[in-house]
Structure 1
Amino acid sequence: MEIRGARVLVAGATGDIGSALAERLAGLGAVTALAGRHPGRLAEVRERCGPGPSRTFDAWDLDGAEGTAAWAAWELGGLDAVVVCVGVAAFGPVGEIGEAVAEHVMAVNALAPMAILRSASAHVSSGGLLAAVTGTVARSAPAGMADYAAAKAALADGRSPGVAALRHGGAGDLPAPRRVRIRGARGDRHRSGPATGHHGGGGRGRDRGGHAHGSAGRGDRCRTGSGGAGYVVTGGASPGGPVEDVTPLSPRPLSRVLFRQWWRELVFLHWAADPDEVARLLPPGTSPDLHLGRTYVGLVFFRMDHLALGRGPALPYLGNFGEVNVRLYSRDALGRRGVVFRSLDCDRLLPVLTARAAFGLPYRWARIRTRRTGAGISYDSLRRDGSGAGARVRAEVSPEPYEANALEEFLTCRWGLHAQLRGHTYYLPNTHPRWTFSRCELTSYDETAIAAAGLRAPREDPVSVLYARGVPVRFGPPLRLA
């Protein structure tokens, strides 16, 4: 096949191998469509390759993977070649990997590439090329990599369903898919170490992942990505020790109660976020907490009631107010999971000043209007500083109970916050009863507060929308991080 002028889809263009291939193909005169999971790196690779279409996708989302070739064919007016470079590694004894991680590894390394190649057969021109990057582990599995090797072998084996279908029943005279061994790409194909990518999913993959992860056990064993090296933390380790489990109730009792409050009529909106971007916004001694390799930003609306100090009576007037916060997800060296608030809008000035002075929390004075009419609930927030920053949500709440999936448990079962005060990072623990959620349908929203908090504004709808009637909350004294 003549490369110059060829229309080529590179799926997995944000990883080391995929980006190197994309740049090489562009240098040889190919017209490339690039797909990868990391928006920032995708933009960088696109710029180096020259003008052309690009699209974010995640290999764990099999529906999204399957539609990638059709998108590229539409953008380029057809396809002459498809190169699939997605993958994720997992290390550890077979008995410790767990069903969720094993399923995840098989989906990203085998099922997603097969889905892309299968759908591409309808779009690649006669005489074109289908290629999937595998690895030497497909022929000989190193110790501690049985699941990874099995997944790679499934893709490399000529008897695998996706490859066999293309070989024997492909589109016209389309040649058999080729397996390409890449040498000399930038960096190692698979590295262990701190995660810098993010991973998640939607459609079929997200549903399966949510249920499976609940049985995986200790946190984020497998950090993965469609489009590049798999970054793995074995055993769910956090920097300095094991990370605590996600639990519906606090794993630690409070030594004493510092203050109490009620959170009522909560609406949670969440979007996936770039872990690199999030890491720069966290206090020292913490790192982004990840669910299946991806971290998130939350926009939470609620009413605060019955704020009280210690075991004393609730504060009249000042202890009741609306709040809208932007929060990130963190863990520390002791493995404690927490939240980091990037902003907290509040419509009572004295609580704003007190929380800023006593705890270093980024409270902002705002006008907040809450309305509940039948099944409808709405919040409107606008800061009083003239910046125009704020947030809005409109939702319809059903009386039908809703069982949170594994991702939503990860986002809401948080038993403390990390913050910085006078140059020191601390952890403020909390406890409350387990959440009870109801089904909630989002009708409209405005997430301006997220960009004002220093993050890139979301370009898609939230990946999760939750409503909770409310819980009583107790906070303990702050614990300084070493």
Structure 2
Amino acid sequence: MATTFLTAEWRNLIFANYVLDRRVLDPLLPYGTELDEFNGICYGSLVGFYFQNVKLFGNVSVPFHRQFEEFNLRFYVRRKSPTGWKRGVVFVKELVPKFAISLVANTLYGEPYETHPMRHRWDIQEKVQYIDYEWEVDSNWNHIRVSADRTGHPLVPESEEAFITEHYWGYTKRGNGRTSEYEVVHPPWNIYPVKTYDVRCDVATLYGADFAPFFDHPPASVFLADGSAVEVKSGEAIDR
């Protein structure tokens, strides 16, 4: 049984979801996985959120690393296991403001982290909440921000929001014929309808020119999830 590597809270997750071409994603697939589709569509999501109360191995707090922003681009995969399909995510790149987080993630787990200056703003008013995450790329500030209802609703089964948020496994490509698999445990999140949104992301610099055309268009959907406590289990290797 896998042990718990990390516990934390993920709060106020903004998802901006774009239609991507399989040809861009196929080279990034970890061994043993295949692309997961929703109604025949391969989605990539720009996700901004906030880490809180981070602890390692259940109770070890690292000074100055208990809370921080993260922004990432991820896409969706699945893997056939002896017990059935496991639905998971693959990260193209993850941005955080803490160098130590990037160092550990890159060197020990092969996760594609980069360190960038980041900041956030939450403004909660009577009926509307304003959530804003920013990160610096080549001296320019990028952002993902929304205004959303303060009244949310439970996740609707089989919805697009359920497809996006209910991938409970992470997969990392560790070379030809080798993949790291880990489980992320959390309850279903409540969804908050977005009134307005704005996304400014230097996709070409962060992810490469091949990705850029797919983000020149507005996202197919944008929503806000409240988040929850999460547990990230220690990983296991999948080998050829």
Provide the secondary structure at the position in 2 that maps to 1:333.
Answer: strand
1:283 paired residue among 23, 27, 30: 30
Unaligned runs of 5+ in 2: none
TM normalised by structure 1 equals 0.44
The question of 1:369 aligning with 2:122 is answered no
Query: What does 1:64-463 align with in structure 2 at a 5 Å threshold?
Result: 255-334=2-81, 335-374=85-124, 375-383=129-137, 386=138, 391-404=142-155, 406-421=159-174, 424-449=178-203, 452-454=206-208, 455-457=211-213, 458-463=215-220
8 Å Cα contact 1:307-1:314 kept in structure 2? yes
Matched to 1:258, the amino acid is: F
Within 2, Cα distance between the matches of 1:425 and 1:359?
11
8 Å Cα contact 2:15-2:222 kept in structure 1? yes
**Cα deviation code 1:410-453 (max 9, x no counterpart):** 11101111002365211111101211122222332113237632
1:249 corresponds to: none
Within 2, Cα distance between the matches of 1:468 and 1:434?
10
- Give the alignment's Cα RMSD to 1 decimal: 2.0
8 Å Cα contact 2:203-2:212 kept in structure 1? no
Matched to 1:419, the amino acid is: T
Cα deviation for residue 305 of structure 1 reads: 1.3
Cα deviation for residue 352 of structure 1 reads: 0.8
2:221 paired residue among 453, 457, 464: 464
8 Å Cα contact 1:299-1:447 kept in structure 2? no
Provide the secondary structure at the position in 2 that maps to 1:393.
Answer: strand
Provide the secondary structure at the position in 1 that maps to 2:212.
Answer: coil
TM normalised by structure 2 equals 0.86
Within 2, Cα distance between the matches of 1:450 and 1:469?
29
Cα deviation for residue 404 of structure 1 reads: 4.5
8 Å Cα contact 2:29-2:173 kept in structure 1? no
Within 2, Cα distance between the matches of 1:258 and 1:360?
15
Within 1, Cα distance between the matches of 2:136 and 2:42?
27
Within 2, Cα distance between the matches of 1:351 and 1:450?
24
Matched to 1:333, the amino acid is: K
Moved over 3 A (4+): 402-405
8 Å Cα contact 2:180-2:235 kept in structure 1? yes
* Greater relative CO, 1 or 2 (CA 8 Å, sep 6+): 2
8 Å Cα contact 1:275-1:295 kept in structure 2? yes
Question: Which structure is higher in helix share?
Answer: 1
The alignment of Structure 1 onto Structure 2 pairs a total of residues equal to 226
8 Å Cα contact 1:326-1:449 kept in structure 2? no
Larger Rg: 1
1:181 corresponds to: none
Within 1, Cα distance between the matches of 2:11 and 2:206?
25
Question: Which structure is higher in strand share?
Answer: 2
Provide the secondary structure at the position in 1 that maps to 2:63.
Answer: coil
